[in-house]
Amino acid sequence: MSPPWFWLCLELPPDASVREVKRRYSQLLKLNRPEDNPQGFQQLRAAYEICLRLAQQREAGQASAAEPSAAAPADETAPTTALPAETPEQAAAARRRAAQTRTAAPPPHAAAAGVDAEPITVLDEPPAPSQPGPRPPPFHLEDAPPPAPHRVNGDPPGAAPPPLIDSDPPPAPPHPVNAERIGKFLPVDIVPPVMREPAAVVDELLQLDGNDETLVERWFARCPELMNFTRRDAVELELLRRIAAGAQPGMFVLQRAGSEFGWRDLSFPRRLAAQGISGAQWQAVENALHESFAQAEFQAHLRSAQKLQAESAGPKEENYLLRQLHSRRGRRPALREAFSGRHVLKVNNLLYAYAERYGGRALFHVFGPELLDFWRSVHPNVAPNWTRFLLAALRIFAYGGALWLILLVIVGLDHDLQVGSPRLPEHMLTLSLSVFSVLLVLVGYVGAQLAFLHFREKIWQRFLHWRERQLERYVEPWLKPARALPLLLGITALGLLADHLLGNGASALLMAVLALLLFGFSGMISLLPAGLLLAMALLLWEPRGPLWLGAGAGGTLGLLWLGDRLARRKQAAQSHWERRFIHVLLLSVLLCAVSFGVKLGLAT
Amino acid sequence: MIVGIDLGTTHSLIGLWSADGARLIPNVLGELLTPSVVGVTDDGEVLVGRAAQEQLALKPDRTVAAFKRYMGSARETRLGRRSFRPEELSALVLKSLLADVKAHTGELPHEAVVSVPAYFSDAQRKATRNAAQIAGVRVERLINEPTAAALAYGLQEQQDESKFLVLDLGGGTFDVSLLESFEGVMEVHASAGDNFLGGEDFVEVLVDAALRDLRRDPKSLSAATRAGIRARLERVKCQLSQHAEVSVNLQFDDAVVPWQISEARFENLAQTLLARMRAPIERALRDSNTRAQDLDQIVLVGGASRMPMISRLVTRLFGRLPLRHVQPDQTVALGACVMAGMKSRDQAFREVVMTDVCPYTLGIEISHTDQNQHVHHGLFSPIIERNTVIPASRVERYNPMADFQKALVLQVYQGESPEVAHNIFLGKMELPLPPRRSAENPVDVRFTYDVNGLLEVQAKVLATGAEHQLVIEQNPGLLSPQEIERRLRELAEIKIHPRELQGNIALLARAARVYEEHTAAARHEIGVRLLEFKAALETQLPPRIEAAREYLGTLLDQLEGDSSPLQP
C-alpha cells in the first residue's frame, strides 16, 4: 500500500519523528519559497501540517503509554495537581540542553505527588554518548531538480522515501548576518514579582467575605497569580480540590471564580481532562461544584431581609421553614408530614413564592426534585395520583382509628357499669369490625372518587380527542363535494337497483340508514332529527315507483348534505341568503313531517 | 536599491541592507527617527519631521500628527489652504525619508519594503501601498511589524528551535505575534492586536488626569493650549520611564500651573489600557494552541515598551522577564531592512525563509434558513480563517437565496464576528446568474490571499461553468488608480520647504516653543540667543550658522532638561 500523499510530499516514512518532519520541511521550504512558488508552497505547507500533527500525536501516544505505572497510583488520591513547579526558563533550558548534549538525563523538575512525568523531548532521543559521531556531509541543495514541489534528492515520487540519517543535526550554516549591526536584545531591568504558592492564594480567597461583591471583585482584579498564564491553572485546580474536599466559599466568590475560569463553558471538562483529571475525579468535582453553588445561593437567599409572601408574618418564620425543608432535601418526605392540609398549602405557597422570586432553577437546586415532587403531588388541586390516595387513606384510618378508640372506651365504660357482662369482647369485636368496614368503605369511596376524576380528566378527554381526530381524518374528506356528490349519486343508483331487485321498502331503508350513518357520525346533531324524520317519511310514504323513490331520496339527501356544508362554513353561516336557504330547508322538512302526519291521520 | 521603511504612528525610519548588515539612514538633523508629523508654514510650504513637530504645539491648526490612524478612511485634514488625505500625508513623510537616503548615499531608491501593523485591515494596507505609490516608490511587499521585529531578533539570537512571542507597542498600535523559528525557518503561528492602543493613548491618560486634578474643563482650552500641554506631557511620559516622580509646569491661557505625577500613579491611571493588552495576547496563545510555559522568550518591541509598567505587566502575565532591544524604536526598522535585503536576494539570506499568517478572518455575507423556515440575514460565512499561513487559497460553495435569481452580490468582509454588521467591509462584486432553481445553481467562491496581503476573489458559476475573476470594487475609503495619479501630480507641485533649511526651521520653532513654556529669566536668555541665531542666518556663512545653532541648542537642552524629576 503506497503511503499517503503527505508523507510522499515530504519524502519521509510514516513513522518519522517531529524533529525529522520539521527538518525536512525547512529544507524543502528553502526551495519553495512562498513568494516564488505559491502553489508548491501551499502543497508543501498542507503536507507539513498533516505530517507534523500525526507525528506529534504519535509521540504523545508513546509518551503516555510509557508511563501508565507511574500515573496509576496518582489516580487514587483526590484530584492531584501535577504542579508545574519548574519555571518556564528551566523547561526551555532543559530542552535546549537535551538537544545539544543528547543525554537522557531527566530535566530538573519537582516530582509532585509522586508522578514521574518525563517530557517528550527526552523520550525522543535514545541515550547516546555525549561525543557526537562523525557528521554526514551537508545536503547539497543545488542538486535538486526544478519542478514543483522541489525535492531534496532527485528520486521519482514512487520510490521508497529515503530514511533520514538522523543521528545528528546537520552543521549549522555559518551565520552570514552580522549580528553586531542589529544590536542586542537584553532582559528588561526590573525585579520580577514573587509568586505565591497556589495553596496560599486559595487560602486567602476562601477567607474573603463572600457576600461583599466589591471586595471579591477587587481581589480578583488584583491577584497577580491569576493574571499569570502559567499559574492560573494551578490555582484553579487547588480551588477545585478544596471545594471537592468540602470548603464552602460565598456566593460571589463562586460566581466570580466561575466566570474567571470559565466553569460554565462547554470546554471545561475537556480542559480539566487535558490537565490530568480522570473521569471519576471529574464527577466528584462536578457534584461538589453543584452542591457548593446551591448552598451558596441558598445562604444568600436566606440572608435577604424581604419576606417572600405578602401574607406571611415575616422572613424569620419563612426562613425557618425553608431551612427545615432544605435540611431534608434529597429524600422523599414521609407521608405523615403532609397530614395537615393546611401545612401542605402553606409549604406549596412558600415554594411557589420562592420560585417566583429566585427562579425555578434555584428552587430545583436548593430543595431537590424528590421533595418538590412530593409536595406538589399532595396538593389538593393537582391531578389525582397514588400519593393523594394513600394520603387520604392515611387520614381516614387515622381519624377512624381515633374514633374507634373512643368508641371502644365508651363501650367498655358502658359495659363496665353493668356488672361483668361476658359479651364484652364480642361487642368489642363487632364494634371493631363495623368500624373497620366503615373505614374500608370510606377509603373505597375516596378511591372511587379519585379514579373517577382521573378518568374524567385523562381518559375521557383522550377519547374525545381521539374521536375528533378520527372524524377529521376519515369523515371530513368524504364530505367534500368532489367525493360526496358521486357518493350520493352512487347510493341513489344503488337504491334504485335494490328497489328494482327486491321490490319492497328495503331500498329506502338502506338509503335512510346510510344517510343516518354518514351525517350522524359527522356530529350534525342539529340535522339528525330532520334526517330521522325524512327517513321515516320515505319508509312509510307509499312509494310511487322506483323512479320517484330514487329521485326523492337522492334529492333530499343532496339537499341535506348541501345545507349542512353551508351551515358549517363559518363565514357562510353569517350571510343572509345562506341562512335563508337553511330556513327554507328546515321549512321543507317541517312540511314533509306535517304531510306525513296528515297522511297518517287521513289513513286512520 | 531596496530600502526598508518603518512608517510609524509617531516616528518613521528608513534604512537599507548593506554588506555589514542593516543600516539606518539619519535624516538632515542627524537623527535616525523622523517624527511622523506634517505641517504647513505661514507661507504655505510643507514641513515634515522635527520642524513640523515643534510647530505642533504652537500652530495646531496647521499641523497634524498620528495620521496613521486615519489610513484606510477618507478623512481629510485641512492644513492651511489645502486639505490632505491620510495617504498624501504618509506620502509626504515617505518622500522626506527617501530624500534623506538620496542625500546620504547619492541614489534614490526605486523599491521599498514598508512595515504595517499586523492587524491592519485590507483597506489600510492598500492605503499604505497607495501612499508609497504617490511618493514615487514601488512597494511590493508589506511586512508586518512584529514579524519585522522577530526577524531582527531571530537573526541575532541564532537558536536551534525556539518559540517566542513578540509584543509590539508602538505609538498608535499594539500587535502580538507568536513565532517559531527552527533550522532557518521563521514561522508566524498567530497574530493578533489592537489598532487603537499605543503610546498616544497613554499620553491621553496623563492629559485627562492633569486636567482633572487641576480642575480645568477640557472644552475651555484652546487648541493651541491643549497641543502645548499634550506635548509637554508627552515628554513627562518619557521621563517617567526613568524617574519615579516628575513635576512639570503646565501652561494654560491665563496661568502656569505646576503639576506632579509619580510612576505608580501613572500605572494606576493606565489600568484600563493595560487590561486591554491582555486580550490579544490570550487570543494569540489560544489560536496557536500554545501554553505560556512553552514559550522560550518574550520580546518587547516599540518605543512605548520603554515604560516600566509594560514590562511589569508582561512579567506578571508570564512570570519571567521579557527581552527588549537596546533601541526599541529601531527594531522594526532594522527588521524591515533585513526584509529588504531578503527581497534583493542577498546571498546572506539563502538559508532564511519566513512565512506569515493572515491575522483576520475573511469571508462573505450570507443569509441562512434554519429548521423553522426562518431566514436570518446578514450572517458572516468565513472562507479563510484567521491565522492561516499565507499564501492561502480556499474555496466554498454557496447557493442563491431565491430561484431564478438574476445576479448574486458577493460582499466581502473581514473580521471575527458572526454578523457582518460588526465586521469590516472590504468590497463587493456582482455576478450574473443563469435562470435556474436555487438548488441547481451553486456558485464556488475562491479567496486567494497572497503573500503581500492582496486578496483575490474568484467566483465560478457551476451551472454554466463561467468563471468570473472580478476585481473587488474599491472600498469607498480608498483611492482609485486615477485618483492616485492625480494626487501624485499634485503633490509634486506642492512646495516643500527646502531640506537643507529644515534644521534651522526646527530650531527656530523649538526655541519659540521653549520660550512660551518658560518665564522671565529664561525668556530673556532665549531671546538673546535667538537674535544671535537669526543674525547668523542672515549672514549665510555656514560656520557661523553652525556655531550659533550649537549655542542655542545647548541652552534649549538645558532648559528642557530642567522640567523634571523631583528629588526622591
Does B155 contact A25 at a Cβ distance shorter than 8 Å? no
Told to judge if B68 belongs to the known catalytic residues of this protein, a careful annotator would answer: yes
Nearest CB partner across the interface for A182, out of B156, B184, B317: B156
CA B309/CA B274 separation, integer angstroms = 8
Contacts A195 to B, Cβ<8 Å: 319
Q: Cis link prior to A161 (omega < 30° from 0)?
A: no
Instruction: Give ∠ CA B520-B524-B529 in degrees, rounded to 5.
Output: 150
Nearest CB partner across the interface for B184, out of A26, A230, A231: A26
Q: Which residue has the higher pLDDT, A50 or A542?
A: A50
Q: Cis link prior to A149 (omega < 30° from 0)?
A: yes
Q: Would the pTM count as exceeding 0.80?
A: no
Q: B249: phi > 0 → left, psi -120 to 50 → alpha, else beta; which?
A: beta
Contact status, residue A463 vs residue A424, Cβ threshold 8 Å? no
Q: Among positive and negative, which fits the CA dihedral B219, B220, B221, B222? A: positive
DSSP for B266-320, written as a single string: HHHHTHHHHHHTHHHHHHHHHHTT--GGG--EEEEESGGGGSHHHHHHHHHHHSS
B111-116 and B138-144 strand pairing: parallel
Does B319 contact A88 at a Cβ distance shorter than 8 Å? yes
* pLDDT at residue B138, as a whole number: 92
CA B413/CA B121 separation, integer angstroms = 10
B161-169 and B297-301 strand pairing: parallel
The answer on A417 and A537 residing in a single domain is no
Is A183 within a domain?
A: no
Q: Give mean pLDDT, residues B539-544.
A: 84
Q: Which residue has the higher pLDDT, A411 or A588?
A: A411
Q: Could you state, in order of their start, the residue ranges of all structural domains in chain B?
A: 2-197+277-357, 199-273, 360-471, 499-561
Per-chain mean pLDDT for chain B: 87
Told to judge if B145 belongs to the known catalytic residues of this protein, a careful annotator would answer: yes
The answer on A586 and A489 residing in a single domain is yes
Candidate from B63-67, B127-131, B144-148, B559-563 with smallest mean pLDDT: B559-563
* pLDDT at residue A44, as a whole number: 92
Does A34 contact B330 at a Cβ distance shorter than 8 Å? no
Q: Which CATH superfamily is B360-471 part of? A: Substrate Binding Domain Of DNAk; Chain A, domain 1 (2.60.34.10)
Nearest 10 degrees: CA dihedral of A469, A471, A472, A473? 80
Does A185 contact B324 at a Cβ distance shorter than 8 Å? yes
Q: Among B54, B87, B88, B168, which one carries the catalytic annotation?
A: B168
* Rg of the Cα atoms in chain B: 26
* pLDDT at residue A593, as a whole number: 63
- Chain A nearest C-alpha distance from B36 (Å): 23
B226 to A133, B60, B172: CA distances (angstroms)? 70, 9, 19
Nearest CA in chain B to A93: B296
Neighbours of A71 (CB within 10 A): 17
The answer on A406 and A354 residing in a single domain is no
* pLDDT at residue A582, as a whole number: 58
Q: What are the φ/ψ torsions at residue A67 (nearest 5 degrees)? A: -130, 45
CA A29/CA A10 separation, integer angstroms = 10
The answer on A394 and A377 residing in a single domain is no
Q: Which of B562, B529, B567 is nearest to B547 (CA)?
A: B529
CA B545/CA B543 separation, integer angstroms = 5
Give the pLDDT confidence of A331-350 residue by residue, as tens digits: 888 888 888 889 999 999 98
Q: Give mean pLDDT, residues B473-496.
A: 75
Q: Among B87, B88, B100, B145, which one carries the catalytic annotation?
A: B145
Element holding A276 (H helix, E strand): none
* pLDDT at residue B260, as a whole number: 92
Most confident of A247-256, A537-546, B9-18, B528-537: B9-18
Element holding B265 (H helix, E strand): helix B263-269
The answer on A5 and A122 residing in a single domain is yes
* pLDDT at residue A523, as a whole number: 46
With a cut of 90, say whether residue A328 has pLDDT above it: no
The answer on A218 and A294 residing in a single domain is yes
User: 3-class DSSP state for residue A239?
Assistant: helix
Does A185 contact B355 at a Cβ distance shorter than 8 Å? no
* pLDDT at residue A536, as a whole number: 60
Contact status, residue B67 vs residue B86, Cβ threshold 8 Å? yes
Is A79 within a domain?
A: no
Is A319 within a domain?
A: yes
* pLDDT at residue A499, as a whole number: 63
Is A77 within a domain?
A: no
Does B21 contact A180 at a Cβ distance shorter than 8 Å? yes
CA A186/CA B323 separation, integer angstroms = 5
Is A324 within a domain?
A: yes
Give the pLDDT confidence of B274-313 residue by residue, as tens digits: 989 998 999 999 899 888 889 999 999 999 999 999 999 9
Q: Report the helix count and the strand count for chain B, using DSSP H and E.
A: 15, 28
Q: Mapped to the 3 state alphabet, what secondary structure does B319-388 carry?
A: CCCCEEECCCCCHHHHHHHHHHHHHCCCHHHCCCEEEEEECCCEEEEEEEECCCCCEEEEEEEEEECCCE
CA B177/CA B166 separation, integer angstroms = 5
Q: Between helices A68-76 and A38-66, what is the axis angle to 10°? A: 60
Instruction: Kindly state the cell numbers that stand for B3.
Output: 530600502
* pLDDT at residue B331, as a whole number: 92
With a cut of 70, say whether residue A292 has pLDDT above it: yes
Does B348 contact A30 at a Cβ distance shorter than 8 Å? no
DSSP for A128-155, written as a single string: --SS--PPPPPP-GGGS-SSSSP-SS--
* pLDDT at residue A408, as a whole number: 82
Does A34 contact B316 at a Cβ distance shorter than 8 Å? no
Give the pLDDT confidence of A364-423 residue by residue, as tens digits: 888 888 899 999 999 988 888 889 999 999 999 999 999 888 888 887 777 766 656 667
Candidate from A33-37, A580-584, B214-218 with smallest mean pLDDT: A580-584
Q: What are the φ/ψ torsions at residue B395 (nearest 5 degrees)? A: -130, 140
DSSP character for A546? H
Mutate to test the interface with B, among A26, A142, A178, A182 (most CBs of B within 10 A): A182
Element holding A291 (H helix, E strand): helix A279-303
User: 3-class DSSP state for residue B80?
Assistant: coil
Q: Give mean pLDDT, residues A303-327.
A: 82
The answer on A47 and A151 residing in a single domain is yes
| Residues whose CB falls within 8 Å of the CB of residue A477, separated by 6 or more in sequence, listed in order | A483
- Chain B nearest C-alpha distance from A37 (Å): 10
Contacts A99 to B, Cβ<8 Å: 160-161
Does A181 contact B21 at a Cβ distance shorter than 8 Å? yes
CA A435/CA A451 separation, integer angstroms = 24
Q: Which residue has the higher pLDDT, B304 or B157?
A: B304
* pLDDT at residue B482, as a whole number: 84
* pLDDT at residue B520, as a whole number: 74
Domain around A393? 389-472
Neighbours of B420 (CB within 10 A): 21
Task: Give me the half-sphere count of Cα atoms (radius 13 Å) on the Cβ side of residue B300.
Answer: 28
CATH number for the domain whose boundaries are B2-197+277-357: 3.30.420.40
Mutate to test the interface with A, among B320, B343, B345, B447 (most CBs of A within 10 A): B320
* pLDDT at residue B87, as a whole number: 92
Nearest CA in chain A to B317: A228
Mutate to test the interface with B, among A25, A181, A267 (most CBs of B within 10 A): A181
Q: Which of A430, A451, A472 is the last residue of a domain?
A: A472
The answer on A597 and A531 residing in a single domain is yes
Residue type, A50: I
- Bridge-partner residues for B249, per DSSP? B258
The answer on A488 and A446 residing in a single domain is no
DSSP for B41-77, written as a single string: -TTS-EEESHHHHHHHHH-GGGEEE-GGGGTTS---E
* pLDDT at residue B521, as a whole number: 77
Q: Which of A187, A275, A188 is nearest to A232 (CA)?
A: A275
With a cut of 90, say whether residue A564 has pLDDT above it: no
Told to judge if B219 belongs to the known catalytic residues of this protein, a careful annotator would answer: no
Q: Which of A382, A409, A443 is the last residue of a domain?
A: A382
The answer on A368 and A274 residing in a single domain is no
Q: What are the φ/ψ torsions at residue B8 (nearest 5 degrees)? A: -100, 175
With a cut of 50, say whether residue A270 has pLDDT above it: yes
Instruction: Give ∠ CA A109-A113-A119 in degrees, rounded to 5.
Output: 35
* CATH code (residue A147): 1.10.287
Percent of chain A beyond pLDDT 70? 59
Q: What are the φ/ψ torsions at residue A229 (nearest 5 degrees)? A: -65, -30
With a cut of 50, say whether residue A70 has pLDDT above it: no
Is A78 within a domain?
A: no
The domain tally of chain A equals 5
Q: Which residue has the higher pLDDT, A602 or B354?
A: B354
Told to judge if B460 belongs to the known catalytic residues of this protein, a careful annotator would answer: no
- Chain A nearest C-alpha distance from B141 (Å): 10
The answer on A122 and A12 residing in a single domain is yes
CA A189/CA B242 separation, integer angstroms = 11
The answer on A488 and A457 residing in a single domain is no
B439 to B404, B463, B502: CA distances (angstroms)? 10, 10, 67
Q: Which CATH class, in words, describes the domain spanning B199-273?
A: alpha beta
- Bridge-partner residues for A128, per DSSP? none
